[in-house]
Amino acid sequence: MDLTKELAPFFDETRARFIELSDEIWRYAELRYEEWDSARYHRKMLEDEGFRITPDLAGMPTAFHAEAGDGGPVIAILGEFDALPGLSQQSGALARVAAPETGDNGHGCGHHLLGAGAHWAAVAVKRYLARHGLPGQIRFYGCPAEEGGSGKTFMAKAGAFDRLDAALSWHPDYETGVVTAVTLANLQVQFRFNGVASHAALAPHLGRSALDAVELMNVGVNYLREHMPGDARVHYAITNSGGASPNIVPAQAAVLYLIRSPSNETTRRLYERVCDVARGAALMTGCRVDIEFEKACSNLVFNRTLADAMHDSLIQIGEPTFEQHEVDAARAVQRTFSDDERQALLAEAGTAEMPAIGPLLAYRPEQTRLSFASSDVGDVSWVVPTAQCVTACYAYGTAFHSWQMVAQGKSALAHKGLEAAAKVLALTAIDLLSKPQRLAEAKAELIARGGGPGYQSPIPDGVAPALKSGVTHRTA
């Protein structure tokens, strides 16, 4: 029997429950490492479904996995559920209006959909294996803190993805397709400068300004940019400006750096150079600098074998079709884009008119391109063969981490993309569980690309996850 037809009644029966799950996680809008209600909601549903829960992975209370099935290969489906600060936005609004129910936060990267779709797929696979009495294990991973925390990298370092045969995931997007782009490695580090406070007018000679050190460090790094690899990226945010009083020499100031490049090794070398600039700034200003490594994630290792398997599933499900009301809603969102955004999107689409909703992307696995984003899925991809897809959940061109993305998080289109992703993941997992040869090929490919058992975490020993996001937790 055609697998898509066999699974259709399951998706019809369970649709309302998983849309509700996604919408609830949207409303919780919890930040990295504080996804208490989101993780609890997922875990309760998985327990009720008969999954065996392993909590507190890598010492993180909102990280867990839920497993079902026996014997055979083990396939992981990765879920996320963290939101972003400062992006509170009313659902469906066509202008920037904060939503009281989500506090200051908002799901600006669609991780409420990501987690719900992955969870939905895991349940589909569990029921399929049980109905047919087949060997095989399916594991849903509740992965916290993708945004600014690299939860999966800490999980990978702790061995949470060892002994898996494959890992599958997806991300909400404005197009549909199997991901063939690879993401950058990154590394996040806090530079805390300590100087001496003093009256800025009466005794400036006795003061040593930590804010001066931050400014000089930033100037130094801006000069460094000309002499670093062209595909590397360095960003910073001043996290402590030293206070609001200009008549006191600031004794403490801090700046947070995020350094990215296509490989862990290049990122680490660039990090050493940025540390030298920080030490130079400290020397120039008579301050002391404390360097606190926060987190890192690896570049993504593409796996052609698994991507092919996922693409086969996507083709079986077929090209998505859209209702007129979904097209109209997408056009209304696009009218909120700036002229600059519109121009850039037209160039990207390569067409005279922007599509309302993105089409099915051409599958070109032989041409992996560099995406300048980073993801902690990168570390999973070094340990176990990994494939990802995207599905159209938003109006074409919707910027990630924007209010427009938050506003569309509970739309009919978002729910349609959620279901499409759950189907692709479920079909791919079922297919792989019945084809050990394909899994063996995927593993051999990973090893040929330098991954596998020798995985080295980009996070140094002794660095623990920063379990506080620094932003006040809102209770749902």
Distance set, CA 149 to CA 55, 153, 168 (Å): 18, 9, 20
- Taking the least distance from each CB to Zn ion, the nearer of 109 and 289 is 109
Spatial neighbors of 450 by CB under 8 A, at least 6 apart, are 301
CB of 117 to Zn ion, least distance (A): 13
What is the spatial distance between Cα 36 and Cα 350, in angstroms, rounded to a whole number? Answer: 43
Instruction: Give, as ranges, the residues between 100 and 129 that touch Zn ion (CB under 5 A).
Output: 109
| Strand pairing report for 136-143 and 74-80 | parallel
Spatial neighbors of 435 by CB under 8 A, at least 6 apart, are 309
- Residue number with the shortest CB distance to Zn ion? 109
CB of 346 to Zn ion, least distance (A): 25
CB of 80 to Zn ion, least distance (A): 7
Spatial neighbors of 290 by CB under 8 A, at least 6 apart, are 191, 192, 194
What is the spatial distance between Cα 222 and Cα 218, in angstroms, rounded to a whole number? Answer: 6
Which of 389, 419, 319, 387 has its CA nearest to residue 119? Answer: 419
Phi, psi for 319 (deg, rounded to 5): -65, 135
- Taking the least distance from each CB to Zn ion, the nearer of 305 and 386 is 386
What is the spatial distance between Cα 41 and Cα 75, in angstroms, rounded to a whole number? Answer: 22
CB of 146 to Zn ion, least distance (A): 6
- Taking the least distance from each CB to Zn ion, the nearer of 112 and 438 is 112
Q: Which DSSP string corresponds to 324-366?
A: HHHHHHHHHHHTTS-HHHHHHHHHHHTSSS--SS--BPP--TT
Spatial neighbors of 76 by CB under 8 A, at least 6 apart, are 65, 139, 140, 141, 161, 164, 166, 167, 168, 380, 384
CB of 467 to Zn ion, least distance (A): 20
In angstroms, the first-to-last Cα distance of the chain is 44
Q: Does 393 bind Zn ion (CB under 5 A)?
A: no
Which of 329, 297, 20 has its CA nearest to residue 154? Answer: 297
CB of 214 to Zn ion, least distance (A): 29
CB of 371 to Zn ion, least distance (A): 12
Q: Does 167 bind Zn ion (CB under 5 A)?
A: no
CB of 171 to Zn ion, least distance (A): 6
Q: Does 179 bind Zn ion (CB under 5 A)?
A: no
- Taking the least distance from each CB to Zn ion, the nearer of 171 and 443 is 171
- Taking the least distance from each CB to Zn ion, the nearer of 109 and 184 is 109
- Taking the least distance from each CB to Zn ion, the nearer of 11 and 400 is 400
CB of 172 to Zn ion, least distance (A): 8
CB of 109 to Zn ion, least distance (A): 3
- Taking the least distance from each CB to Zn ion, the nearer of 109 and 249 is 109
Q: Which two tokens stand for residue 80?
A: 């996320």
Contact string (CB under 5 A) for Zn ion, positions 180-209, x = contact: ------------------------------
- Taking the least distance from each CB to Zn ion, the nearer of 109 and 234 is 109
- Taking the least distance from each CB to Zn ion, the nearer of 109 and 277 is 109
Token pair 């402590």: residue:
240
Give the ranges where 395-458 is alpha helix by DSSP (H): 403-407, 412-433, 436-448
- Taking the least distance from each CB to Zn ion, the nearer of 322 and 400 is 400
Asked if residue 165 lies in contact with residue 384, where contact means CB atoms within 8 angstroms, the answer is yes
Helix (H) / strand (E) element for 267: namely: helix 264-285
What is the spatial distance between Cα 350 and Cα 327, in angstroms, rounded to a whole number? Answer: 20
CB of 110 to Zn ion, least distance (A): 7
Number of residues that bind Zn ion (CB under 5 A): 1
Distance set, CA 323 to CA 241, 330, 396, 398, 413 (Å): 50, 11, 15, 19, 9
CB of 364 to Zn ion, least distance (A): 23
- Taking the least distance from each CB to Zn ion, the nearer of 109 and 446 is 109
Which of 349, 370, 387, 129 has its CA nearest to residue 263? Answer: 370
The three-point CA angle 77-78-83 to 5° equals 150
- Taking the least distance from each CB to Zn ion, the nearer of 67 and 147 is 147
The residue ranges that bind Zn ion (CB under 5 A) are 109
